[in-house]
């Protein structure tokens, strides 16, 4: 009798669970050259954070007008610390930063890095190198937007000048 009651209860539960869709498989990570992978891992560790590779964006093209392809990557560090709090485990758990890093020439030499701010301020939709500049199509946040859901279409142009990345926001081609 007890087994029949269990079976009678278990069947509706299984039927109910089968009605819900299965979660989508995890997004694939963009694999980058080993030198870049190593840099991102070390950079995240140095800041006491971690990087989720599925949010990376990258582009390859000639930034320095020297005829050699350069490499650009945008990545996020979650849990990053900006003070001496790195000694306290989990002290910066809710902090997140987005970075643009340039690797120049062959072999890929480390170039400049630029902190782009918190990911909720703007969302980079696509990234490309065009005519020696890094072009990012973005969505920027307006006051009425929900946090983390920017809606204003914009474009940023980045150039490497004097060993630093310089940004020109709201650039239009």
Q: For the chain, what percent of residues have pLDDT higher than 90?
A: 30
pLDDT tens, position by position, 61-81 = 999 888 999 999 999 888 766
pLDDT at 102: 96
Output the pTM of the full model: 0.73
pLDDT tens, position by position, 105-162 = 888 899 999 988 776 667 788 999 998 999 998 887 777 777 667 778 888 999 999 8
Higher-scoring residue by pLDDT: 119, 165: 165
Average pLDDT over residues 166-172: 73
| pLDDT above 60: residue 172 | no
pLDDT tens, position by position, 90-106 = 456 666 788 999 999 88
User: What 8-state DSSP symbol labels residue 32?
Assistant: -
pLDDT at 127: 94
What is the pLDDT of the chain when averaged over all its residues? 78
**In this structure, how many other beta carbons lie within 10 angstroms of the beta carbon of residue 72?**
24
Q: Are 113 and 99 in contact (CB under 8 A)?
A: yes
**What six digits make up the tokens of 84?**
């001496």
């Amino acid at each position: 009798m007890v087994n029949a009651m269990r079976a009678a209860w278990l069947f509706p539960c299984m039927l109910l669970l089968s009605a819900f869709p299965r979660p989508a498989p995890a997004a694939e990570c963009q694999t980058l050259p080993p030198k870049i992978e190593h840099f991102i891992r070390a950079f995240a560790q140095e800041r006491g954070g971690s990087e989720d590779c599925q949010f990376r964006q990258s582009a390859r093209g000639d930034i320095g007008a020297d005829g050699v392809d350069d490499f650009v990557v945008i990545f996020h560090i979650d849990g990053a610390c900006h003070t001496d709090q790195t000694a306290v485990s989990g002290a910066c758990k809710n902090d997140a930063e987005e970075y643009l890093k340039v690797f120049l020439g062959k072999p890929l030499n480390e170039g400049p890095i630029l902190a782009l701010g918190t990911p909720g301020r703007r969302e980079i939709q696509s990234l490309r190198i065009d005519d020696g500049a890094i072009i990012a199509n973005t969505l920027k946040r307006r006051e009425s937007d929900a946090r983390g859901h920017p809606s204003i279409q914009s474009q940023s142009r980045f150039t490497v000048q004097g060993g630093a990345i310089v940004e020109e926001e709201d650039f239009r081609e």
